[in-house]
Amino acid sequence: MTPQRLRELIAHGESLTVEFKGEGRAPFSDRELVEAVVCLANRPGDEPGWILVGVEDDGAVTGARPRHEGGRIDPHRVQALIANRTRPALTCRAELVPLEEKTVLVIELPASRMPVGTADGTYLRRAIGGRGRPECLPFHFHEMQAHQADRGVLDYATLVLPDARWEDLDPLEFERYRRNIRESRGQGDATLLDLPDVELAKALGAVEANHQVRVIRVLGLLLFGREEALRRLIWPHEVAFQVLSGTRVEVNDFFHWPLMRTMDEMLSRFRARNREEEVMVGVLRIGAPDYPERAFREGVANALIHRDYTRLGAVHVQWHADRVEISNPGGFPEGVRLDNLLVTSPRPRNPLLADAFKRAGIVERTARGIDTIFYEQLRNGRPAPSYERSTETDVVLVLPGGKPDLAFVRLVAEEHQAGRILGLDDLILLNHLRREPQITPAEATRLTQKTEVEARMSLQRLRETGFIEAVGERRRGVYRLSATTSQRLGKTVAHGRGRGIEPLQQEQTIQQFVQAHGRITRAQAAELCNLTSPQARHLLSRLVEKGILVRQGIRRGAFYVLASKNVDVSKSDLDTSKKSGWPSNKE
């Protein structure tokens, strides 16, 4: 730890991974130190944790007091104290760092995958308290289970329910599970269809059975349990469907049903409220719903699969006038963050439950449900879904509604019909460009959550297929919609072509347009580069002087072509050109 790095930690203040322990008023006892270590070890996330002894709550550096004989602090003895008084024994690193003529005792703690307590049985955890600040709170047993589930150490769905009996499971729910497989169009596990109820439950890991059922796990009750048994044995499980109009609640229904029945109910209510617009693509009618069903289905399934069943609180499906919100108790599993949602490997909080949903054909077997949610939203002309409101205790998915961009829906459908299927990265970048004038490689990297090399490859692919065009130098350049794509999306050709671009960029833009369309008029050049008519005339004249373009025709019928395509054009050709997609092509 360098003094500069220590200053940075202090400047950012206390957090879930950094705790200040000042000794300005009184020394910090060994017991208090060990409890602080235990608390910070039981924190969310996998980043290193830091205890800074000798730094006050306000960030003032008062220095650490001597802890050992001779008026000194021995970091090795501090490490030994922590290892001896924690269970399981924690290995940490302690060091003394000089700062502002004081000495700070810095203790670095790795994240612990198992709950850690003091040798005398005190368990604390680091969390945001009621005052909105990081605090040390009691660490209860059910919270320890959630802690382990977050880190992939424990699958809560595998836990045994000692009071559960086979009679607590509903035969109708077994048949519902089989029906889901049959209706999944080959996505489900058809080998489960002919199994009797006990063998089906056994195959899913929901029960332990030999000649008779000996043990029923949490998974068994979540999938097949009767409502009364679920209320009695897994009481945190609850799902709410709410329809909100401003601050008024129009529908407010809560369910304690098994998960397959809950999914059916949510989809039934969704279909009853979801409207659809249509767009013609050739002779086909393509639907553009308020909310894509596949996105909604994956969102609800993810909330049920990944929720923390040890925490109080319901999974909420809230239908607003302009959006649908789906939230569940339990933050993202360890390693999943907002900036890597699209690229991180699947990390289900309840792996056995996730597998049961996949084998029923309800969710993608590739475990890339978030990709499906993003793809379906964008493909249907909607803004991208958002997880921005998620916290360490809850995951919140927002599916924006509103009027769809039918031109974007048509473009995607036309490309699909032509055998040019746009991928998720393509849709993310085009969605950005249909709303913003341009995009940089850095923005593309952030949006796709890929490396810069991969983002540049995606941009280059869209450029090669004519969707976008590059402006400026390779390294510092930007990308914007091509003129053809702008037309297909119903935007002016000037979209993304603001004033102030360099003359060289203007010349490149003109050349690219002529290469794509064969010719250009002064009016088109003015719109393309957002110039006045005299400025456009000067720009075209400059390209003629350089030998890049040649002027054809006279007066209002004049246009410009590449020098290599200098051809004579009859008056009838000029009249025909006025019927193209460009209005009034006047110079």
Q: Encode pLDDT of 465-508 as tens digits.
A: 999 988 765 556 789 998 889 888 987 655 555 544 567 778 87
Given a cut of 50, whether residue 580 has pLDDT beyond it is: no
**450 and 539 fall within a common domain:** no
Q: CB atoms < 10 A from the CB of 489, how many?
A: 17
Say if 374 falls within a structural domain. no
Q: Residue 7 belongs to a domain with what CATH number?
A: 3.30.950.30
Averaged pLDDT of the chain: 88
Q: How confident is the model at residue 382 (pLDDT cuts 50, 70, 90)?
A: very high
Same domain, 530 and 479: no
Domain count along the chain: 3
In a domain, 124, yes or no: yes
Q: Please check whether residues 539 and 458 belong to one and the same domain.
A: no
- Same domain, yes or no, for 124 and 10? yes
pLDDT at 579: 39
CATH number at residue 546: 1.10.10.10
Q: Quick check: is 540 in a domain? A: yes
Give the tokens for residue 479: 């990308």
Length of the chain: 587
* Separation between Cα atoms, residue 365 and residue 358, nearest integer Å: 5
Q: Is residue 456 part of a domain?
A: yes
Contact 10, 61 (CB under 8 A): yes
Average the pLDDT over 262-270 and give the result.
Answer: 97
Q: Are residues 437 and 485 in the same domain?
A: yes
What pTM did the predictor assign? 0.73
Which tokens go with 366? 């590739």
Domain end (from 84, 116, 139)? 139
Same-domain check for residues 42 and 130: yes
Domain limit, last residue, from 455, 476, 496: 496
Question: Look-up: residue for tokens 């919609």?
Answer: 481
Instruction: Report which of 91, 97, 33 is spatially closest to residue 67, judged by C-alpha positions.
Output: 33
**Last residue within a domain, chosen from 104, 139, 174:** 139
Residue-level pLDDT at 211: 79
Asked if residue 133 and residue 24 are part of one domain, the reply reads: yes
Please tell me whether residue 285 adopts helix, strand or coil conformation: strand
What letter would DSSP give residue 354? H
Q: Answer yes or no: do 466 and 568 share one domain.
A: no
Query: Is residue 585 located within the same domain as residue 509?
Result: yes
Task: Report the pLDDT averaged over residues 416-445.
Answer: 93
Q: In 3D, which of 118, 43, 111, 108 has the Cα closest to residue 88?
A: 118
462: how many CB neighbours lie within 10 A of its CB? Answer: 24
Is the pLDDT reported for residue 440 higher than 70?
Answer: yes
Alpha carbon distance 321, 244 (integer Å): 7
Cis amide leading into 88 (omega within 30): yes
* Same domain, residue pair 17 and 57: yes
pLDDT at 142 (0 to 100): 77
For residues 7 and 100, membership in a common domain is answered with: yes
| 583 has a pLDDT exceeding 70 | no
Residues 486 and 536 both lie in one domain: no
- Per the CB < 8 A criterion, the answer to whether 434 and 491 are in contact is yes
Question: How far apart are alpha carbons 110 and 47 in whole angstroms?
Answer: 7
Look at phi and psi of residue 320 and say left if phi exceeds 0, alpha if psi is from -120 to 50, else beta. Answer: beta
What backbone torsions phi and psi does residue 192 show, to the nearest 5 degrees? Answer: -85, -15
Is 44 inside any structural domain? yes
Helix (H, G, I), strand (E, B) or coil at 349: coil
Does 375 reside within a domain? no
- Cα separation values, 53 from 6, 322, 414, Å: 12, 50, 64
Q: Per-residue b/e over 200-225, b at no fewer than 16 CB within 10 Å?
A: bbbebbbbeeeeebeebbbbbbbbbb
Q: Is residue 193 part of a domain?
A: no
Please check whether residue 269 lies inside any domain of the structure.
no
Instruction: Kindly report, residue by residue over 167-180, the tens digit of the pLDDT.
Output: 999 999 999 999 99
For 73, phi and psi rounded to 5 degrees?
Answer: -125, 125
Domain that holds residue 462: 422-496
Q: Give φ, ψ of 260 to 5 degrees.
A: -65, -40
